[in-house]
Structure 1
Amino acid sequence: MEAQLLERSENKCELCQSADPLKLYKVLPQTSSNAENTILICDKCRGQIEKTAELDVKHLNCLRTSIWSAVPGVQVVTWRLLNRLNESWAVDCLEMMYMDEETLAWAKSGLAEDSDVADDVHKDCNGQVLEAGNSVVLIKTLDVKGSSLSAKLGTVVKNIRLVENNTDQIEGKIEGQTIVILTKYVRKQS
């Protein structure tokens, strides 16, 4: 099967067209492995799919091309990645993409599994994953409840802490005071 996939992909990643070393990727869920539900991808794309690397919007621009693939496995992975991106072009791509009902159901079944895992992740306003110790920038002036403090737009909050059991909140210090901040009002600092 690997020889068949190498020929189909012309020895390139079926998502980004990279000539980097390629590996087989079985698009789950599946009952048996075949050329329709197995694709060849590079390590960078694998990291994006398996969430072992932070979403790289620049790299994932390749999805603008992979939406036209006739391979069901490529369609499913492309659809799932586009649904994780918080970009207007990704929404446009999803609207242009065509999949038969069976392939779309397959894509959605994997997305439901992904969302169970994704629910435990803190994300900023751009969908970037936040981790304890990160620095963030406020994207809006916030009035702190129970205080006369007003946290101004553009304020950098260093060394944040993640609020357990609530992915919409982080804690950080502003002017020496520890406050709870909604993740939708922060942008991860590079």
Structure 2
Amino acid sequence: MKLEEQLIQRSGNKCELCQSEEALTVYEVPPQSVSTDENTILICETCLSQIEKRTEMNSNHWRCLSSCMWSEIPGVQVISWRMLNRLNNENWASDNLDMMYIDDERLAWAKAGADDESDAAAEFHKDANGNLLQTGDSVVLTKTLDVKGSSLSAKLGTVVKNIRLVEDNTDQIEGRIEGQVIVILTKYVRRQG
């Protein structure tokens, strides 16, 4: 029986973390050299995108850890410990981490793959209302902006399409206004749509 089939059978075709039945995928819990049913779990896209920090952490989604942290499956235990650590500023997560039992070998595995960011959340580009911004989004200016080094003035309400995120600064995006690429502070934009 293939590994994926084993995981589907073991999980009842549900995410082994949050029990969702949608967009399931096989996830190998790092670091590993060989995939086995002990170090591989079946998870949904919502869990995966937050584990891999492709989307912002939704702490309410992870309340499922209160039950899955008791799983006998090593991979589920390791991910539960890592996510509880990332959420340790939440009282419920901190309490669960205190109660959780994980043997020394699995704890070493969990720590080996954890990226020591328990107190520093991943940084994301957000608009003036706190909405997540992505490359390709369209935004509306919430303030008239004078462009430095130019006579251009970007008016309040101007729509800027197909923005790019400034990689090393979450307070800035790039956009094209009147044919000119400019840097715009995220606090002066609202995501459209």
TM-score range normalised by the length of the shorter chain: 0.5 to 0.7
- For 1:9 and 1:89, the matched residues in 2 are separated by 25
More helix by proportion, 1 or 2?
1
Cα deviation per residue 1:24-68 (whole Å; 9 max; x = unaligned)? 001000121100000000000101111111111111111111111
- For 1:23 and 1:17, the matched residues in 2 are separated by 13
Residue matched to 2:12: 10
Number of aligned residues: 135
For residue 135 of structure 1, report the CA deviation from its aligned partner.
5.1
Residue matched to 1:46: 48
Amino acid at match of 2:54: T
Amino acid at match of 1:56: N
TM-score (norm 2): 0.61
Q: State which of 92, 95, 105 in structure 2 corresponds to 1:102.
A: 105
For residue 132 of structure 1, report the CA deviation from its aligned partner.
5.9
Residue matched to 1:32: 34
| SS in structure 1 of the partner of residue 114 of structure 2 | helix
- Percent of aligned positions that are identical: 51
| SS in structure 1 of the partner of residue 58 of structure 2 | coil
Cα 1:83–1:134 shift into 2, 3 Å:
farther
Residue matched to 1:19: 21
Q: State which of 96, 100, 108 in structure 2 corresponds to 1:93.
A: 96
- Tell me, which stretches of 5 or more residues in structure 1 are unaligned? 123-128, 137-157, 171-190
TM-score (norm 1): 0.62
Amino acid at match of 2:91: S
Contact 2:53 2:122 (C-alpha < 8 Å) held by counterparts: no
* Superposition map of 1:20-169 within 5 A: 20-85=22-87, 86-112=89-115, 115=117, 121-122=122-123, 129=124, 131=125, 133-134=127-128
For residue 21 of structure 1, report the CA deviation from its aligned partner.
2.7
- Tell me, which stretches of 5 or more residues in structure 2 are unaligned? 131-141, 144-165, 172-193
- For 1:15 and 1:58, the matched residues in 2 are separated by 13
Amino acid at match of 1:110: G
| SS in structure 2 of the partner of residue 89 of structure 1 | helix
